[in-house]
Chain A
Amino acid sequence: MRKSLKRITALALSACMVGAMAGCGNGDSGTTAAPKDNTTAAQEKTTAGGETTAAETKGGDSEKQVTLRFSWWGGDSRHEATLEAIKAYEKAHPNVKIEGEYQGYDGYYEKMITTLSSGTAPDIMQFHRDWIADVQGAKHYLADMSKLPVDLTTLDQTVLSGSGTYNDEPVLYSCSIGGQIMYVNKEFADKHGLDLEKVYTWEEIMALGKEIHDANPDEYLMTADIDVLNRLIILEYLAQMTGGSIVNEDYSLNFTEEQMTAALHNIKDLYETGTMEPFGESAVFVGQMEQNTKWVNGQIGILLDITGATAKYAASIEAELDCMSIPVMKDAKSSGVDFSGNMGFVINDASENKEEAAKFLDWMMNDEEAIKILKDCRGYPATSTAIDVMTKENLLNPVMKKATEIAGDNNPFSINAISGNTELETIRKDIIQEVIYGDSTPEEGAKEMVESYTELLETLKNK
């Protein structure tokens, strides 16, 4: 066998090839997603546990027995609150049974797209706004909520159109709103004279950062991982110059090479002045900035993130957590804050029980009882009803409330779907790191970025 391995390898490979070719012949049906009726099969399976299976053929709509599958990601507090809400809903609607399928964030998106493509996805899903374009762009997976019994009027209309709409159909019901903010260790701020009420310019921030680091080499004003640099700093800086998203709706670039050079220079300066903790040192905490030892120990004063992350950062330091506006350049065209609903719920278009799912969703978002149970377990609520109830009952986390107000004031913008394309992001992240590590200058980086963006957008447009 060993002697003839080469021949056999070739044989085996060509056999595979032939098999594959044959596979393509009767191709499409074989390789594509499973037939639709699997949804029913899967649903029946979940019901089989206790309840009798839905009698779909008979009975009035309101009395129909239905089982809804509802998936979300989160931590313990969110799981507990959501399960309690489900219980309350089931009590009020005895004909509805809701199966919660909850998990941590790790692998959630992968699971959702796998189940969507195979027709086994849950009826209601918690979704990131960033996923909408990829998912709905591929196929009409998500239900058009304007045709379902859910009250969309309580959502801020700019949030709904900016974050929840795809191809003129509202598909994502935002459950929280917010934008970019700087989380501040209050003790650190007091010690170093950081004025939380002031909107700093980038130059002022760097001057302060340099002062702090020069006085104590172990301290830095800020830290950031690659995602923050990419999503928060570069995009904000550009938006302050251009007033909008990096790519226009017609797939043309909304920035010039000079502007990108300036944005990359800004990042380089943040590191060179010692304002930012060296990239290599913070690289250990990529994706988990709240675990950064220097931040936890109060040697770093500021973390940039979106407003919804308040609880995570508040729990990570012993000092009090506060927040302030991100730096804004002089004569900025916008504050650079992308104020939108970054998380929400979608309804599976292939679901048999879209109506019931929508009713439950509406209840979660707009019913007083639900709001009191769910509180801010998914961040600062997006619906006017929820804000009213929570203000009245004094249930809003003060830091989160302040953060949301700061982010929402001061002329924010709302990023469009195409600008969130993951391939564009990947290119950006690479170039940012090349600039930081000195592999290329900001000028070279900006040139490369414009070139690869133009090429990529061309292919995306023709798709």
Chain B
Amino acid sequence: MAKANASAVPAVKKVRKLPRNWKWGVAFITPWIIGFLAFQLYPLLASLYYSFTDFSVLADGKWVGVENYVKLFTKDKHFLKSLWLTVKYAIMSVPVKLAFALFIAMLLNMKLRGINMFRTIYYLPSIMGGSVAVSILWKFLFMQDGIVNKALAVFHIPAVSWLGDPNMALVTVSLLVVWQFGSSMVLFLAGLKNVPQELYEAASVDGASKVRQFFKITLPMITPIVFFNLMMQTINALQEFTSVSIITNGGPNRGTYLLGLKIYEEAFTNSKMGYASATSWVLFAIVLVVTGLLFKTSDAWVYYEDGGMN
């Protein structure tokens, strides 16, 4: 390989110097390239193409140009409202979920007797996922005379219309995803493990407080994972579908009609795959911008042990 590289370098030198071992890199990502071309590229392009047609699942569409996009922004009563709800939902749920997950992960990272049990217990809600059991459970907890309101009554707090009030319903749905914080927690746990213990030992000797240690050692060392979690949770939140579909079905009064649900309904309930695709691509563009911005800011706060790639 080294020989091949050596001979290759002078040949392309005029154009651009190729990095060392680049062929290895390409070789390693080849499986994904094949997979992408075979299974992902076509669906991606097809959905883009659909977005310019009036394709329904059942009938071939005809080309309508940008009509779907124009309709989204000018005629669709729900689109902007849904978009705003979705953003609100992401802002509401993602930071809380991550902060909670990180906090619990720190606790669970301690060497305590029986901590294995606790870790498993804390992960259980995530195992339940979007199952039927969860949807029934959420009803019990949050209906008018449900368990949560009964508990509040003990403290003389008046009953809250958790799922009946359009604004409150979004909060209640957010609670579900915060409660299922397991996947973020697992990643934080795995990230915490990679923080070298020597750093803490050295800091203790220097008399740094736990809080200071957290901000000066832990947090910087796990920023790659914080960044990953933040990005993935944001993408997921902007596409959220399961929680609203099993708990509120978008209601009441469209109070939880997130874009993910709207896209699903347009595609399958209303058989307007073209329109749903257009909505998706607008969402896609938004997510792309948001993640692009996140990447940009990551320069300033994400610390990579490998010294950065570019």
List chain A positions with a Cβ less than 8 A from chain B.
Answer: 1-6, 9, 13, 16-17, 19-20, 23-24, 27-28, 30-33, 109-110, 113-114, 116-117, 134-135, 138-139, 141, 226, 278-281, 283-287, 291, 293, 422-423, 426, 430, 433-434, 436-437, 439
- Chain B residues in 8 Å Cβ range of A285: 139, 143
Taking the complex as formed, is B298 at the interface, i.e. its CB lies under 8 A from any CB of chain A? yes
- Chain B residues in 8 Å Cβ range of A23: 45-46, 49
Provide the bound-state CA to CA distance between A9 and B288, in Å: 8
Provide the bound-state CA to CA distance between A13 and B296, in Å: 18
Number of A-B residue pairs, CB cutoff 8 Å, is: 118
Instruction: Choose from B60, B63, B253, B299 the contact partner of A24 (Cβ within 8 Å).
Output: B63
Q: How far is the CB of A326 from chain B (nearest CB, A)?
A: 24
Provide the bound-state CA to CA distance between A437 and B167, in Å: 12
List chain B positions with a Cβ less than 8 A from chain A.
Answer: 41, 44-46, 48-50, 52, 55-60, 63, 77, 136, 139, 142-145, 161, 163-166, 169, 248-249, 251-254, 268-271, 288, 292, 295-296, 298-299, 309-310
Instruction: Choose from B58, B77, B143, B253 the contact partner of A281 (Cβ within 8 Å).
Output: B143
Provide the bound-state CA to CA distance between A27 and B144, in Å: 53
Residue of A nearest to B285 (CB): A13
Instruction: Choose from B50, B77, B254 the contact partner of A31 (Cβ within 8 Å).
Output: B50
A280 touches B57 (CB 8 A): no
B45 touches A439 (CB 8 A): no
B252 touches A433 (CB 8 A): yes
Provide the bound-state CA to CA distance between A39 and B145, in Å: 52
Instruction: Choose from B45, B136, B164, B299 the contact partner of A19 (Cβ within 8 Å).
Output: B45
A2 touches B164 (CB 8 A): no
In the assembled complex, 25 residue pairs joining A and B whose CB atoms fall closer than 8 Å, in A order, are A2-B296, A9-B292, A16-B44, A23-B45, A23-B49, A28-B60, A30-B46, A33-B60, A113-B57, A113-B271, A134-B58, A138-B56, A138-B59, A138-B271, A279-B164, A281-B143, A283-B248, A284-B144, A285-B139, A286-B252, A291-B136, A422-B269, A434-B253, A437-B253, A439-B253
Provide the bound-state CA to CA distance between A20 and B169, in Å: 39
Residue of A nearest to B264 (CB): A110
A284 touches B163 (CB 8 A): yes
**Given contacts A110-B268, A285-B139, A291-B136, are A117 and B292 in contact (CB under 8 A)?**
no
- Chain A residues in 8 Å Cβ range of B161: 280-281
Residue of B nearest to A287 (CB): B249
B60 touches A141 (CB 8 A): no
- Chain B residues in 8 Å Cβ range of A433: 251-254
B296 touches A20 (CB 8 A): no
B164 touches A20 (CB 8 A): no
- Chain A residues in 8 Å Cβ range of B49: 20, 23-24, 27, 31
B251 touches A117 (CB 8 A): no
A283 touches B163 (CB 8 A): yes
**Given contacts A2-B299, A109-B268, A113-B268, are A141 and B48 in contact (CB under 8 A)?**
no
Provide the bound-state CA to CA distance between A28 and B57, in Å: 15
A293 touches B145 (CB 8 A): yes
Kindly list 7 other residue pairs between chains A and B, CB separation below 8 angstroms, not including A135-B58, A279-B164: A19-B45, A24-B63, A28-B60, A226-B251, A284-B164, A286-B251, A293-B143
Provide the bound-state CA to CA distance between A27 and B63, in Å: 10
Residue of A nearest to B269 (CB): A422
A437 touches B251 (CB 8 A): no
B296 touches A279 (CB 8 A): no
Q: How far is the CB of B277 from chain A (nearest CB, A)?
A: 11
Provide the bound-state CA to CA distance between A113 and B45, in Å: 21
Instruction: Choose from A6, A135, A284 the contact partner of B143 (Cβ within 8 Å).
Output: A284
**Given contacts A5-B292, A138-B56, are A283 and B271 in contact (CB under 8 A)?**
no
- Chain A residues in 8 Å Cβ range of B45: 16, 19-20, 23
